Amino acid sequence: MADLNPAPDDRGDGSGRGDRGQLVLITGLALAVVLVALVLVTNTAIFTDNLATRDRGVGDTEALGYRATVIDGVGGIVERENAAEYADRDELTANVTAGVVRFDDAIGRTAAIRATSARVNRSSLSYVDGVLVRHRNESSGFVSAAESADWTVATDVNRTRAFAATVDRSSLARTEAATLDDAFAVVVEGNASSDEWTAYVYENATTGHIAVAVSPVGAAGATEVCSVDASSATVGFTTGTLAGEACAGLDWRGGVDDAYDLRFRNGTSAAGTYDLTVRGGVGAVNDAAIADGTASDDPESPYFVPAVYAVEATIRYETSELEYETDIRVAPGESDA
């Protein structure tokens, strides 16, 4: 080890400078030790934080997976209970609540096995009223209950979801996108702006396919956006699909930003079935053109019944390392519609 004492010959009047040199050297060594310790502590902290970050990532993934599971599960309950066609809205919402409770209990038990708490705050459950409009008479065109081919389905609507029509190709007008005057059309017209968005369903005269054309707001005409070679197919107006496949140009009411009226045109040029759910009470639908499905066990088509448009609730997911709470809104088949 190096001798830190000055040589005898160096002592004398300048011995103070030697002592100071020794002190500087000792201080330097001490500082080096401190710096090494700080580096070790810092590296340890970074390593620990990386582990914690990875843990949060896994936990977040599980929490978001739980959220998606709840949305899917509650959405299925809403669709099943709406499809049962209740005459009484209170009975409908009571059965939706009962279904959510059973679902929540089942998910909660599964989570508890992993020492996790996953719960729907049942006191936070709330419902947005809706009306389900259905057409089930496949031998009849998409006309009103009074058999009008051009008619209004709903007025002053600001949300429509799960709007799908299954059409028979043989019932469709055989034409081209350039000449759609006789084709079945779904028309969305803004109340304040008078902007109009139209989707047409027809048989393409050249290919023989079931085709969909769209006339966006402000357009002079329509453009065919998708087609399928089938004897029948389902057009998902609010989901933007044809026969279960994405139809990129079918952008529901694109450009109509305010409340709107929903109308059918050339209803005799399409036959099959359809469902749609609008937000609001019974007053949202045109009851002069649609039969009251609650007044008869076998209502004529089309008809309407009460529906749950959306469910809103708070959910919470908690582990020993994560607490996640958020509000959810469940509206199956809605596409900012």
Q: Where are the alpha helices (DSSP H) in the chain?
A: 15-83, 89-113
Q: How is residue 40 written in tokens? A: 């070790």
The SS3 call for residue 120 is strand
Instruction: Tell me what pLDDT residue 57 has.
Output: 55
Instruction: Tell me what pLDDT residue 335 has.
Output: 74
Do 240 and 335 form a contact (C-beta atoms < 8 A)? yes
The SS3 call for residue 282 is helix
pLDDT digits (tens, 9 = 90+) for 260-286: 999 999 999 999 999 999 999 989 999
Each residue's pLDDT expressed in tens, for the chain with a length of 337 residues: 444 333 334 444 444 444 544 544 454 545 444 443 443 333 333 333 333 333 445 568 999 999 999 999 999 999 999 999 999 999 999 999 999 999 999 999 999 999 999 999 999 999 999 999 999 999 899 999 999 999 999 999 999 999 999 999 999 999 999 999 999 999 999 998 889 999 999 999 999 999 999 999 999 899 999 999 999 999 999 999 999 999 999 999 999 988 999 999 999 999 999 999 999 998 999 999 999 999 877 788 899 999 999 999 999 999 999 999 999 999 998 875 5
Output the CA angle 282-288-289, nearest 5 degrees: 100
Q: Taking each helix axis from N to C terminus, what angle separates 89-113 and 15-83, rounded to the nearest 10 degrees? A: 140
Residue tagged 């809103």 (tokens): 312
Do 237 and 212 form a contact (C-beta atoms < 8 A)? no
Residue 260 has a CB neighbour count (10 Å cut-off) of 25
CA distance 211 to 200: 8
The SS3 call for residue 226 is strand
pLDDT > 90: percent of the chain: 74
Output the CA angle 94-305-238, nearest 5 degrees: 100
Instruction: Tell me what pLDDT residue 69 has.
Output: 97
Task: Evaluate the CA torsion angle 267, 272, 275, 281 in order and state its sign.
Answer: positive
Residue 301 has a CB neighbour count (10 Å cut-off) of 22
Strands 241-242 and 245-246: antiparallel
Cis peptide before 302 (omega within 30 of 0): yes
Residue tagged 């049962």 (tokens): 84
Instruction: Tell me what pLDDT residue 333 has.
Output: 87
What are the C-alpha distances in Å from 311 to residues 73, 106, 236, 253, 329?
Answer: 12, 19, 22, 23, 6
Residue 79 has a CB neighbour count (10 Å cut-off) of 17
Candidates 137, 125, 132; CA nearest to 82 is 132
pTM: 0.79
pLDDT digits (tens, 9 = 90+) for 224-246: 999 999 999 999 999 999 999 99
